[in-house]
Amino acid sequence: MRVKIVRFATIAAAVALSVPIAHAQAGPNQILIKQGALKGSVEDGAMIFRGIPYAAPPVGDLRWRAPRPPAAWSGVRDATKPGPVCMQPGQPPAAESEDCLSLNVWTPAVRPTKGLPVMVWIHGGGFTGGSGSRFNGTSFVRDGAVLVTLNYRLGRLGFFAHPALAGRDSDGLLADFGLMDQIAALKWVRANIGDFGGDPANVTIFGESAGAMSVNYLITSTAARGLFEKAISESGFARSAGTAVELARIQGTAFAKANGITGGGTAAAAALRALPAENLVNNPPGILSTTRIGPIIDGVVAKEPVVQAFERGDQARVPAIFGGNSFEASLTLDVLKNPDRVLDRIGAHRDQAVALFGGGDPAKAAANIVTLSLVIEPDRFEARQDVKAGAPAWVYYFSYLPKAVRDQVPGAGHGWEIAYVFDRLTKVDIHVPPSQQFAGIPVIPAATPEDQAIASAMHAYWVAFAKTGRPDSAGGPEWPDVKPGSDPVMEFGVGGPVVRPEFKKLQLDIFTGLAERNGGAAGSSGNRPGN
């Protein structure tokens, strides 16, 4: 069977040719793009355009299809408010919609004389939650970059397979609609970001958790080749294998049956597309809440697990930064209360593991085993494979904790680096989200000079990388790249950024060996990413 993906850029170009584009000076806070005129707002020296559609609404017959080009509009479109978030649990109905494929752009209020580097942020949320509009890009504009954030289809609307959909779509055997949305957004950026003062030939993609996993898949997907020049993966779980399409179809069939839909023909496909979107967010009776949602190895967008593509050297040869946090095990909070869930799997070497990974403390050992095996060792793996393929790579480790909570938590939790990367410590919009707060641990208080120093440094390295393809020194120590036989790590911890020449080599080598024996998959804890 011949498989294809609709070439969004080609269709968009054809649409653009049929829409007259004026080049007259736009009004205050306005900009003119191929789709029409936009009116944004100004904040802290940045002009912000929110809720820009980058694809047609994926509703009705377009549900579970490749994203189509957005329509043009007449007049001036209000871009001062974000678009709806994509369908997800826990949102008020007025805030969410299946029609959610929009993005937001932060650019200097005064138009730059030449194209600025562009940074495209992909949010996390376990592929079931989150939104690009929850982040603020004014700090990137302040430091000479254009920031784009985006929404992409989540949950079963973004990642779903069923026999009724397989082979009956002109787009091919698709399942990773959320990843396809991200690719469509990158194509929109290529075609339009120049109108916002950005350089379409200097795009950096970066994301955290599910966003970082997306970055990893975009690096390895041939469908995304040529759409970005650099990449940053923050807590990307590179050894997470994704869901085999055969299993995804079994799960999809069970879900359809629970909604009264049987068979695999066109009638079933139509019935699935007619289901209320709310039905796809909530599990019907008989469907396990543990059913995995996320990238499906569909052979089209995600042709194979990330680890296999990196092992074969079949990834985009672009400069990349990989890294994670010192307490990624915060995703499984019970690991501290019930470390035996991890340690019992070690068997006869349990005491040695507790000594090596926890200094004799079982809870600390279990937390470090989860953190190192699921995130930190896979970061090193990706960097090594990039270097082997001829692309420069850097690795970081975020361990910084504000003084107010250093005695209350074992390390920097999953996602805690985001506020530092965005240099938004005093803003609650992206600070430690409630889902990542520990029981009894307050929200981190107002930033101190020590906190701000780490945020300024981390943010500066990210922007320097976007500008030049190297994080360089960014006002701090020079950040060395990974070389064959050399795995330096930049640790962002108490006291400031410090280069660690051979970071946790003994511990990480153990997990590398285990992963190799397990065929490349993460092998020690059995936990899967949850945000």
Q: What does DSSP assign to residue 483?
A: B
Q: Give yes or no for a contact between 135 and 121, defined as CB atoms under 8 angstroms apart.
A: yes
Strands (E), 271-374: 296-297, 320-325
Q: Give yes or no for a contact between 98 and 87, defined as CB atoms under 8 angstroms apart.
A: yes
Rounded-to-integer distance, Cα 87 and Cα 488, Å: 41
Handedness of CA 184, 189, 190, 191 (dihedral sign): positive
**What are the C-alpha distances in Å from 431 to residues 136, 212, 388, 442?**
11, 18, 36, 12
Q: Which of 530, 323, 319 is nearest to 418 (CA)?
A: 323
Q: Which of 240, 256, 188 is nearest to 49 (CA)?
A: 188
Q: Which of 48, 19, 50, 47 is nearest to 34 (CA)?
A: 19
Q: Which two tokens stand for residue 328?
A: 């990624």
Rounded-to-integer distance, Cα 230 and Cα 220, Å: 13
Bridge-based pairing state of the strands 116-122 and 198-208: parallel
Q: How far is CA 290 from the centre of its chain?
A: 21
Q: Which two tokens stand for residue 515?
A: 């992963």
106, 112, 118, 124: CA torsion to nearest 10: -10
Q: Which two tokens stand for residue 292?
A: 């995995």
**What are the C-alpha distances in Å from 494 to residues 9, 178, 436, 488?**
46, 37, 21, 18
Q: Give yes or no for a contact between 443 and 431, defined as CB atoms under 8 angstroms apart.
A: yes
Q: Give yes or no for a contact between 515 and 522, defined as CB atoms under 8 angstroms apart.
A: yes
Q: Which two tokens stand for residue 114?
A: 């030449």
Secondary structure tally for the chain: helices H, strands E: 17, 18
Question: What are the backbone dihedrals phi and psi of residue 394, each rounded to the nearest 5 degrees, phi first?
Answer: -135, 155
Please provide the DSSP assignment of 200-239 as one string.
EEEEEEEEETHHHHHHHHHHH-GGGTTS-SEEEEES--TT
Rounded-to-integer distance, Cα 375 and Cα 355, Å: 21
Kindly list the catalytic residues: 209, 328, 414
Q: Which amino acid is at 161?
A: A
374, 242, 65, 209: CA torsion to nearest 10: 0
Rounded-to-integer distance, Cα 319 and Cα 326, Å: 24
Rounded-to-integer distance, Cα 399 and Cα 127, Å: 25
Q: Which two tokens stand for residue 356?
A: 């090596």
